[in-house]
Amino acid sequence: MVAGHAISPVGSVAALVPPGDVHQVENGGQELAVSLHIYGANIAVLGSSIRRRYDLEVRRSAGSSVACVPS
């Protein structure tokens, strides 16, 4: 289920906060694209949401396989 979509121009910046923080990024072009994600929390304490699977039906996330690196 897609709640919405956005096409962002080169050099754009976006902020995602709940409830819109569950997202998917894809490159619609043929050239190399870079997506930089910056998180404002200490993931060593709070854990990471990277590579988690979110089940929209039950609105919960499954575990992550990414190790947390202390900052």
Mean pLDDT of the region 29-45: 81
pTM of the model: 0.44
Q: Could you give the CA distance from residue 62 to residue 51 in angstroms, rounded to a whole number?
A: 9
Q: For residue 70, how far is the Cα from the chain centroid?
A: 20
Q: Give pLDDT tens digits for 4-35.
A: 788 888 888 888 776 667 778 888 889 998 88
Q: DSSP character for 66?
A: P
- Does the pLDDT at position 48 exceed 60? yes
Cα dihedral sign, 60-2-10-17: negative
pLDDT average, residue stretch 47-51:
68
CA atoms of 61 and 55, how far apart (whole Å): 6
Enter the tokens of residue 5.
């979509």
